[in-house]
Every structure is written in C-alpha cells, then in structure tokens.
C-alpha cells in the first residue's frame, strides 16, 4: 500500500506540475523548434539565392566576349537582375563592377561613380571593398576630383592592395601638381609591391618619369 500511495502521489505531483508548467513547456518547445526550423529555412533560402545568382552571373560571363547589341543589352539586363534580385550576395557587387567598367568605356563617369559606390557599400568581402574603392578613386581622378580621390584612399588597412592604393594616390597627387608627394607615393608603392612579391612595371615607369635630374 505504501508503494501504491507513493506511485499515486508521484502521479498526482506530475499532474499538478503539468497544470502549472505545461503551457510554458509547450511554448518553450515551440520557440526552440521554430527557431531551428527558421534558421534552417534561412540557410536554405541563402543557399538558393547564391546558386541562382551564380547561374545568372555565368550567363553574364558567357556574353562578355560579344559586342553585338543584342548580347550587350541582354548582359545589361542580367547585371541589373543581380543587383536587384540578389542584392545580398557577392554577385551584386560583381555586377556593379561590371556596369562601372562599361560606363567608363562609354565615357559616362557619373554612372561609373554610382555603380562603384554601390559595389563599395554592398561589398561582402574586404577584397571587393578595396577593389571598388581603388576603382572609384581612379574615376574621381578622371573627374578631376582629386581631393575626393585622396580621401577615398586614406584607409587604415590596405592589406594586399597597398601597392595599388599608393599608386593611385601618386596619380592623384601628380594630377594636383604635387610632384614631390607623388614621387614619394610611387616610391612607397614600388616598395609595397616588392614586399608582396608583385611585379608592376607601370608604377615603376611612373616613378622614373618623376625622377629628379
């Protein structure tokens, strides 16, 4: 009888606990499960977006070698699609870099600035951010906005792009007429390239052109 009472008391205790805590337990399980499935869904959606963007970008690359108007127009539509439908992926910045290059070739520097600013702001990697910044500075120099270019180039961390940053800085300073400062920037660019094991004869030619006679 004692054992039976004990079992009955245990059952009654469980019933009472469930009355007091059952709904909270269910809610906790639902929240945890919801969070898990929500995360899984987000991961799946992210993967699907990346695969879709990759497929569109592949079409862009296939059309890149063609100069036919129809292909150029199709490529433009695909690039716009990457920026709008896949804005959260790395391919959106790739698309903006493509469009900026096309704009420069067409002589439309304002459009190039717009695209490069988009690429810079939406860059998902440091490498893309550096690349967009350097190209944007080059376009600013072409627009004779030298101080804006120098401001863009004044970054704390240049990484593997140090040589390029310093070269473009030299270009901006030379365009401003600050020859000594430009020579110093080119010298630093050459040194940075040597440290990184990079060979850039163009910046060396720029430095030679400013050599003191």
Measured between alpha carbons, how far is 138 from 146 in angstroms, rounded to an integer?
A: 9
Backbone CA torsion sign across 119, 120, 123, 129: positive
Whether 130 has a pLDDT exceeding 90, the answer reads yes
pTM of the predicted model as reported, rounded to 2 decimal places: 0.72
Q: Which of 7-11, 93-97, 122-126, 170-174 has the highest mean pLDDT?
A: 170-174
Angstrom distance (rounded) from CA 193 to CA 200: 7
Q: CA 205, 208, 212 angle in degrees (round to 5)?
A: 165
Distance of CA 19 to the CA centre of its chain: 53
Per the CB < 8 A criterion, the answer to whether 160 and 125 are in contact is: no
Could you read off the pLDDT of 12-67 as tens digits, one per residue?
Answer: 665 555 556 555 655 554 454 555 444 444 344 445 456 778 887 887 778 777 67
Q: Which of 72-76, 95-99, 134-138 has the lowest mean pLDDT?
A: 72-76
Could you write out the DSSP letters of every residue in 124-154? SSHHHHHHHHHHHHHHHHHTT-HHHHHHHH-
């Amino acid at each position: 009888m004692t054992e039976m009472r004990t079992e009955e008391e245990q059952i009654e205790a469980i019933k009472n606990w469930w009355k007091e805590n059952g709904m909270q337990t269910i809610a906790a399980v639902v929240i945890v499960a919801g969070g898990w499935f929500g995360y899984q869904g987000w991961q799946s959606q992210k993967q699907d977006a990346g695969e879709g963007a990759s497929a569109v970008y592949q079409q862009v690359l296939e059309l890149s070698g063609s100069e036919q108007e129809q292909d150029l127009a199709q490529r433009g539509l695909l690039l716009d699609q990457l920026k709008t439908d896949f804005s959260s992926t790395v391919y959106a910045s790739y698309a903006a870099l493509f469009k900026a290059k096309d704009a420069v070739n067409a002589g439309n520097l304002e459009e190039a600035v717009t695209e490069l600013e988009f690429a810079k702001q939406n860059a998902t990697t440091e490498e893309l951010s550096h690349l967009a910044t350097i190209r944007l500075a080059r376009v600013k120099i072409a627009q004779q906005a030298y101080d804006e270019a120098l401001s863009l180039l004044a970054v704390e961390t240049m990484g593997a792009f140090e040589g390029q940053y310093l070269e473009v800085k030299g270009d901006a300073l030379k365009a401003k007429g600050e020859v000594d400062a430009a020579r110093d920037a080119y010298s630093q660019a050459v040194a940075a390239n040597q440290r990184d094991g990079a060979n850039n004869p163009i910046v060396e030619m720029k430095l030679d052109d400013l050599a003191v006679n």
